[in-house]
Structure 1
Amino acid sequence: MKSLSSLLKIEQFYSAFLNNRRDLFVYLPPGYSEESDRRYPVLYVHDGQNIFHPAFNGYSWNLHETADELVQNGLMEEIIIVGIANMGMQRSDEFTHELEGVDYLRDKVEIRPKGQLYEQFITDELMPYIDSLFRTKKGPEHTAMMGSSRGGQVTYHIGMRRPDLFGKLAILSPYFYCVDPVTLEEARQYHTWTDKVPLSRIWIDLGRREGTLILEKHVREVTESLVGLGYKPDDELVYYLDPTGTHSEKDWAARVASPLLHMFGNKGTPVKFSLEGEEIAGIRGPGMRLNPIAEFDSGFKMSLLRADYAAEDGTILEVLEDGTLVPGREGKTAVEASFGGLSAARTIRVAEELKEHVALELFVHVPADTPENAALYSWVPLRKDASKPHAYTVRLDVPLNAAFEYRISRGDGAVEADQAGQAVTRFYKAEADGRLELTVRSWKSPQ
């Protein structure tokens, strides 16, 4: 009988650089206990308490289950995974490097950057410890790093600074800009490199429903800068825009097989190809880009960074190789793309002008038993409506086509609940000016 993988917890690992202690979570692959002479590649993952176990929101990456499945199906080599727990309130400090371009002074929280110290903790304390305790393969070709949100930002910075140690990076829903959801003011949070460093695999992704927290234009900006350095698109550098992904462990869990396959496995053969994206573009207005998604028989998914496109009527619309739409005149035309012997088409309408932003009036009616001074939130803070009892409101501009999956919540942690007492998740996409009126029937108290 083939042995199973195992999870270990190393409690209170001390860092002299940071003068703190944190837990480590280690996944050992199925063959580890049977093949005593075998060594294994290592993947280091930030926010380690959430990758094998549920986070505060009840969701987990379930990274061990995905790794087990890929190994069992012969799609990925066996690896060791090291989850590095974050330090709660110190997380933002530790995940922020003080580098040129990182405008941490305009972040949404006060930052005292400790990214360089956190980096030293990993490279000079944690990695030697893991290498001494487990049978690891050393060298950047066998060592990877993964993280999401701010963990994606720190993965990018550490990986680009230390290619002598890390040869593979997986950057999920990266926090490359701080965007104020009300004013839409942007503060850049990443450093730009001017020279290519020797990384063999880079994965970058985001979800389409992350609202203004993670915007596609920002993630693609960094991705294109890496292409400009010489990383081969759709090969060394792979990108994925998940059409329904949100900023949550459940969505990172749903797509984490793809970065694992990119770094340590076999993608297989393409079996499906589709053209996602908006169906309307403006001669004047925000830029639009197609999202060509290739799916493989292994379950691997990616959005092509470069493709061959053909518009049926090139006077109406042209499509650049990076998927950017270049409108010429009003009208409709079909656009076709192909990949791996597969093809996909989409009809695009070109209008004279599209607005950059959508004006939204959001009204929320709450139960009469809601505490009088309760703070209320959607994806932005709401204020009490002086003209109506038990009502909250906000008026704001939202980037055109920004999509949000959100919950109505109170400052004390209570969330909107349905008749069965389950938390209610809502969805909004900024397609046109309008008024959104919602009614909260009841509240679910925090656990």
Structure 2
Amino acid sequence: MKSTSLLLSFILGFAVSSAIAYYAWTHQPSSPQATTAARNVHIQTPMPMTKLMRDRQLRIYLPPDYEHSTQRYPVVYMHDGQNLFDTASAYAGEWGIDESLNSLALTHGLNLIVVGIDNGGDKRMTELNPFNHERFGAGEGDAYLDFIVEQVKPWVDDNYRSLSSREYTAIMGSSMGGLISHYAAIRHADVFSKIGVFSPAYWTAPAFSDLVLVHPVKLPQRLFLLMGEAEGGSMMTDFDAMKDTLIAARAAQPALASIAISVPHAQHNELFWRSQFVPAILWLFDQPTTDVQALP
């Protein structure tokens, strides 16, 4: 009887210890994903957003020759910084901006500084929208752009060898980032001369088309519009309507050069935007490229 009890105790103890060991093995915390960011990408201390009372992470890409030269460089300001350079920080895939620009520096001699501004997580839908929205809340787009223009850009111009005039300053983003970039082209035309608008979420800002008509751009500006034909919802319809709006406003803004590209079968994701970044940036910076078509 005693030996039976000892055997049962042993079996029970072994079963419990085995279960604990199996649970520990199957519930190990996942290892941090290795960074894919190039060595010339630098993460800065979060910067306070004065008007929005939040902090925001900046990620700075510097040209490959930055440390060994004395020249100054154009600057591209981009939204959703988590997704630009590094798979480890991306929540939906990365654009590979650093790899693309390192390559363009070699093949085209195009050297740029890129300032990636992280999105605000649950604040993204309001920060990147200048208009109020019934579902998402009061738009904070004006305050967000003020953060870029009044805080981030002066800091960049003070701390890096940038070419600070509008001629050398671009802004670019996708989805909500595309919307706020297009809005920046109007509200801050004196700051940005090159605008990349990828898959813009015009559906969140129905009043935006009227704004384009009422406030035509008077200063020289290049506007790159991109949409995937399989993005769903009203995305393609809204994109076509914006093309018509730009054509209608052309007489009032002869200094605006516009490109609009729709890509068959392309969907709303980073893989698509990554594939179109190079032709977009080449066109925006007036480099030779055959992958774009102008508005009629």
When normalised by structure 2's length, the TM-score is 0.80
Q: 2:292 aligns with which of 294, 297, 302?
A: 302
Residue 120 and residue 201 in structure 1: after superposition, are their counterparts in 2 closer, same or farther (change >3 A)? Answer: same
| Secondary structure at the counterpart of residue 171 of structure 2 | strand
In the alignment, the residues of structure 2 paired with residue 218 and residue 302 of structure 1 have an alpha-carbon distance, to the nearest angstrom, of: 20
**Matched residue, 1:79:** 112
In the alignment, the residues of structure 2 paired with residue 196 and residue 93 of structure 1 have an alpha-carbon distance, to the nearest angstrom, of: 25
In the TM superposition, what is the alpha-carbon distance from 1:113 to its structure 2 partner? 1.1
| Secondary structure at the counterpart of residue 177 of structure 1 | helix
In the alignment, the residues of structure 2 paired with residue 11 and residue 86 of structure 1 have an alpha-carbon distance, to the nearest angstrom, of: 15
**Matched residue, 1:260:** 281
Residue 206 and residue 232 in structure 1: after superposition, are their counterparts in 2 closer, same or farther (change >3 A)? Answer: farther
In the alignment, the residues of structure 1 paired with residue 146 and residue 139 of structure 2 have an alpha-carbon distance, to the nearest angstrom, of: 13
* 1:210-236 alpha-carbon deviations (Å, 9 max, x no partner): 01152x221122123223322569x82
Does residue 95 of structure 1 match 2:128? yes
Judge conservation of contact 1:160–1:197 (CA < 8 Å) in 2: no
Residue 199 and residue 94 in structure 1: after superposition, are their counterparts in 2 closer, same or farther (change >3 A)? Answer: farther
In the alignment, the residues of structure 1 paired with residue 258 and residue 199 of structure 2 have an alpha-carbon distance, to the nearest angstrom, of: 15
Residue 213 and residue 22 in structure 1: after superposition, are their counterparts in 2 closer, same or farther (change >3 A)? Answer: farther
* 1:48-97 alpha-carbon deviations (Å, 9 max, x no partner): 1101123223x1100111111122112x5211000000110011111111
* 1:21-45 alpha-carbon deviations (Å, 9 max, x no partner): 1110000001211112x10000000
**Matched residue, 2:192:** 166
Bigger proportion of residues as strand: 1
Q: 1:157 aligns with which of 166, 172, 183?
A: 183
In the alignment, the residues of structure 2 paired with residue 196 and residue 12 of structure 1 have an alpha-carbon distance, to the nearest angstrom, of: 33
Residue segments in structure 2 that go unaligned for 5+ positions in a row: 1-37
Q: 2:77 aligns with which of 44, 56, 61?
A: 44
Judge conservation of contact 2:82–2:91 (CA < 8 Å) in 1: no
Counterpart code for 2:221: S
Does residue 127 of structure 1 match 2:156? no
Bigger proportion of residues as helix: 2
In the TM superposition, what is the alpha-carbon distance from 1:257 to its structure 2 partner? 0.7
Q: State the identity as a percent.
A: 26
Does residue 22 of structure 1 match 2:56? yes
Say what the alpha-carbon RMSD is for the aligned residues: 2.0
**Matched residue, 1:419:** none
Judge conservation of contact 2:75–2:162 (CA < 8 Å) in 1: yes
Residue segments in structure 1 that go unaligned for 5+ positions in a row: 179-186, 269-295, 307-447
**Matched residue, 2:248:** 228
| Secondary structure at the counterpart of residue 212 of structure 1 | coil
In the TM superposition, what is the alpha-carbon distance from 1:305 to its structure 2 partner? 2.6
Counterpart code for 2:242: V
In the alignment, the residues of structure 1 paired with residue 44 and residue 153 of structure 2 have an alpha-carbon distance, to the nearest angstrom, of: 14
Judge conservation of contact 2:189–2:217 (CA < 8 Å) in 1: no
* 1:83-123 alpha-carbon deviations (Å, 9 max, x no partner): 0001100111111113xxxx622xxx322211111111111
Bigger relative contact order, structure 1 or 2, given CA contacts below 8 A and separation 6+?
2
**Matched residue, 2:32:** none
In the alignment, the residues of structure 2 paired with residue 163 and residue 227 of structure 1 have an alpha-carbon distance, to the nearest angstrom, of: 19
Residue 196 and residue 167 in structure 1: after superposition, are their counterparts in 2 closer, same or farther (change >3 A)? Answer: same
Judge conservation of contact 2:260–2:294 (CA < 8 Å) in 1: yes
In the TM superposition, what is the alpha-carbon distance from 1:267 to its structure 2 partner? 2.2
Counterpart code for 1:141: E
| Aligned 1:188-207 pairs, distance under 5 A | 188=206, 190=208, 191-194=211-214, 195-207=216-228
In the alignment, the residues of structure 2 paired with residue 86 and residue 221 of structure 1 have an alpha-carbon distance, to the nearest angstrom, of: 27
